Homo-oligomer: A and B are copies of this chain.
Amino acid sequence: MVTIKDVAKHAGVALSTASYALSGSDKVSPKTRELVLQAAKELNYQKNGFAMDLKRKSTKTILLILSDLSGPYYSELIRGTQEVTLSNGFDLIACSSVGGADSTAYKFLQERRVDGAIVLDPNISEHLLRESAREGCPIVVMDRYVEGDFIMNVAADNVQGGYEATRYLMEKGHRDIAWIGGPSNSLGSQHRKEGYLKALQEEGIVNTKWMLVGNFTEEGGYHSTKVLLMQEEHPTAIFYGNDEMAIGGYKALREFGLSVPEDVSIVGFDDIQVAEYLSPPLTTVRQPKYEMGTMAAHLVFQAMGGEYVNKSYKLKIELIERLSCQPPRLAPNRGKGMET
């Protein structure tokens, strides 16, 4: 392997001079710079990034940890973080926590290989986060809440989202609204449910029969919906903890000969790409993913500058109205949002 030493020798200068020349310092005269560059080219010299980082004590890269590196959910978010990172002259690399303690995420976090991290991954333990966050490596955690030095939090206002979606259904006249949530370890899902319950409570509605959990997958939504429909009484609307589950719901409903929105209204959560192409297009709650991404990245850089303005941020959420909801057909007497 050709090193800077070889380049220096080949160019007939000292190692240190070669280093200066290669890094474009103006301490070196134009003609020696040329000489060195030429030598480097001839030998096909490629610098060793580690050695550099080791000496410089900073890596200029920030790490994005995702739960599986492949979900459709992340697109916009990644785009956001990437833009900010790049414009700060830093690099962004992504990895996943697949593999548990042997995962790339663990290694990079524990081995001080990055100058900051953005974590969107429920699998990374709080312990690891607290252990890894430090001066020189701030961490922003998304969609969950973890407290600690050099740790900040960014999340969508899931409570608000859950509340508004439910409210929206109620204003269309629904009172029998089912909830099919995500896995219980998802803080986001919990909060959405919280908003849902709050809306219900305001109207004095008590729902005990129609609260199920899926696991945020299409499969899960499908099955949960099926058990829901096998009960004797049906709700007139279903609120799903995310869009994937709503897709599963569509399928289950179709199998039961029920149509959306005539027989049951549906609202999802997330606004993934598919949502608008479903038939009927899915009314859902959009998370400001791009904004969350940029926000997270900005926070990292702010923290690097020593500013820890605030530890926790909540971003507003937006209801996207499409065609999967309408007033319930069997309760015309309940009016259209007049009961408030």
Seen from chain A, the residues whose Cβ lies within 8 Å of a Cβ on chain B are: 1, 44, 46-54, 57, 59, 61, 68-72, 74-76, 78-79, 82, 86, 89, 91-96, 98-99, 102-104, 107-108, 110-113, 131-132, 136, 247, 273-274, 277-279
Contacts and interface: CB of A to CB of B under 8 A. Distances in A.
Contacts of A89: 102
Contacts of A277: 247, 274, 277-279
B273 A112 contact: no
A273 B273 CA distance: 9
Contacts of A46: 110-112, 131-132
B94 A82 contact: no
B95 A91 contact: yes
Contacts of A131: 44, 46
Contacts of A70: 74-76, 78-79, 82
B47 A111 contact: yes
A95 to B, nearest CB: 5
Contacts of A96: 82, 92
A67 to B, nearest CB: 12
Contacts of A48: 54, 111-112
Nearest to A74: B70
